[in-house]
Structure 1
Amino acid sequence: MNADFDTYRLSDEHEALREAVRALAEKEIAPYAAEVDEQGRYPVEARDALVKAGFHAITIPEEYGGEGADELAGCIVIEEVARACASSSLIPGVNGLGLTPILLSASHELKQQVLPSIASGEAMISYALSEREAGSDAASMKTRARRDGDEWVLNGTKCWITNAGESTWYTVMAVTDPEKKANGISAFVVHKDDPGFEVGPKERKLGINGSPTREIYFSDCRIPADRIIGAEGTGFKTALQTLDHTRPTIGAQAVGIAQGALDVAISYVKERKQFGKHLAEFQGLQFMIADMAMKVEAARQLVYVATSRAERGEANLGFISSAAKCMASDVAMSVTTDAVQLLGGAGYTKDFPVERMMRDAKITQIYEGTNQVQRLVMARALLR
């Protein structure tokens, strides 16, 4: 077996990026994380710091004013920001999600129209697929788009839209031909100033409180005809392709949250004493820490493999992308819960960040496809 093991390690550039993002997150993002959660306010400090450093949408190609980084770099940014503040990690995360359909399927002209404003940081982009009655079953969506001369007219409601109200652009899936079911869905780019577009009130949530989640409404919303992404009827295919690329980014967010909780737990057990000994000297707790770290590292490697394979455009990404998202989010939930346990009563208070991390971790098992759906995707890929 002659495997080239050198290809399986992060490049020096990736390691340098991690250091840079970690330093920025510790200095500019972590100090506001508790307050952002407590007040449920958008993390403007994080946004400004990420934009200034060029980390807010790192995968936009250079020809559109971006950094031109690979998808693994995008995951490292999300992971390191999530280690400090999960809400803030949704700035690069959701930009990536909203951008991916455009990068995959849009015309050069549409890319030119949308991407430079996001690359410069003057605009953000959100992604609108889900509806109240079309969550896991996205193909049953009701939002409609009909052609009217040089415009498309959109009608309907999308829900659970991350960073809605903060974003300028929205990548929206809508039905253009109801007869064709999934093959009658098309993708569009909507601007917040388009007539007939409106943003609803904020959801009250368990976690990620610094990232607003809202409904968005289209009432005879008119957009120019050239804002369709790819050909008519290809939207659902683009949406599924997008998830192959973005599910690992949710995995990266989950890994970051878990790593943040593990770091807090380790420093706590090294300092705190009971029965005249540091907690770190008790074997039962050592085993807990070892298990937590083992899971985090396994999840991280799976996320990196999945995102690298997506970057290379490999076939049959469904299994690996779902596996990375599913495993990493399950790990985040279990590791953050254990971190709260290790800190005991202190872990249950807001004086320490682990209870916030535990609440934030939960959503990673739900959005971009619940982990039950991920297991369905994996099983279908295996049994095809």
Structure 2
Amino acid sequence: MAEKMWGDEEFWGLGYDWDPDWVLTEKQIELRTKLIDLCENEMRANAKRSDDELLYPNRNFEILGENGFLALTVPEEYGGLGENHVAFSMVCETIARYGCASTAMCYVMHMAAVNTIMLRPTPELIEKYIRPLNTGKIGTLSYSDPETGSHFWYPVSSGAEKTENGFKVRKKASWTTSGGFADFYVVQTTSPNFTGYDDLSVFVIDGEHVQAQPSLW
């Protein structure tokens, strides 16, 4: 088996015995090659700029969107690449290894939000949040509840109530990756008629309705 390379030199980390290429399809290998090129030629320089100037990596997300990666696991019929969890893992690893570790972390939470929506995809959710993804729309999860030490399975400081126009959601969260920068948030609260530990609901909230303090990270 060929040696894994890092530029023109042998890669210093795990080899293919522990990170085998044979789990990837030909399409996924092509995606990885394309992504490595984007990382080496654009995203890595943006990572340094973000670190030096304390900036959120917005430009890297624009690059990912321009190349289809923000809708990686979304079915092709909705404008995505139709890939699976193996491709998701590969993309996260590739961004972190060759481009920007911070972008990779934000991307993990973005795709987690996207995949959560795709578990119960309504026409409204598809049109509002899924189809526009590759224009640079960023999503994130917001689950951690500060009142219970981040125990997302019992969000006592959050809740929701049914109204004539839908739901009124009250959510207090900590450690929300991309907080203050995301375009939409997938949040978990107790259900409107909360009856116990497992009676929880998930909502999608537009970024314009979220108050965040990213400067306090």
Tell me the equivalent position of 1:132: 146
For the aligned residue pairs, the C-alpha RMSD in angstroms reads 2.2
How far does the alpha carbon of each residue in 1:185-208 deviate from its partner, in whole angstroms, 9 at most, with x for none? 111111123xxx332212555xxx
Where do 5+ consecutive residues of structure 1 fail to align? 1-7, 206-384
Name 1:104's counterpart in structure 2: 119
DSSP 3-state at the match of 2:55: coil
Selected match of 1:155 from 150, 157, 170: 170
Q: C-alpha distance in 2, partners of 1:68/1:188?
A: 24
Percent identity of the aligned residues?
24
Determine the structure 1 residue equivalent to 2:180.
165
Q: TM-score, normalised by structure 2?
A: 0.80
Counterpart residue number, 1:13: 27
Q: Is the 8 A contact 1:139 1:181 kept in 2?
A: no
Q: Secondary structure at the residue paired with 2:132?
A: helix
Greater relative contact order structure (CA < 8 Å, 6+ sep):
1
| Secondary structure of the structure 2 residue equivalent to 1:199 | coil
Structure 1: distance between partners of 2:29 and 2:79: 24
SS of residue in 2 equivalent to 1:140: coil
* 2:33 aligned partner, one-letter code: E
CA gap 1:111/1:48 in 2 versus in 1, 3 angstroms:
closer
- Out of 33, 38, 41, the residue aligned to residue 52 of structure 2 is 38
Which deviations, in whole Å up to 9, do the C-alpha atoms of 1:88-144 show, x marking residues without a partner? 1134322211112111134344333321122x3242111111121234522221201
Give the 4+ runs in structure 1 shifted more than 6 A.
none
* Aligned pair partner of 2:67 in 26, 50, 53: 53
Q: Which residue of structure 2 lines up, in the alignment, with residue 209 of structure 1?
A: none
Answer with 1 or 2: which has the greater Rg: 1
- 1:37 and 1:130 map into 2 onto residues whose CA distance is 26
Relative to structure 1, the CA distance from residue 66 to residue 135 in structure 2 (aligned partners, 3 Å threshold; closer, same or farther) is farther
Which runs of structure 2 are paired with 1:77-116 in the superposition (5 Å)?
Answer: 77-83=91-97, 84-116=99-131
Instruction: Give 2:132's aligned residue.
Output: 117
Normalized against structure 1, the TM-score is what? 0.47
> Using the alignment, how far apart are the partners of 2:142 and 2:59 within structure 1?
25
Q: What one-letter code is carried by the residue in structure 2 that aligns with 1:202?
A: P
Counterparts of residues 160-309 of structure 1 (less than 5 Å): 160-177=175-192, 179-193=194-208, 197-202=209-214, 204-205=216-217
Cα distance in 2 between the residues matched to 1:150 and 1:48: 34
Alignment-derived partner of residue 9 in structure 2: none
Q: Deviations over 1:124-169 (max 9, x none)?
A: 1111111212345222212010001232011231111111222111
Q: Give the structure with the higher percent helix.
A: 1
Q: State the distance in 1 between where 2:124 and 2:61 align.
A: 27
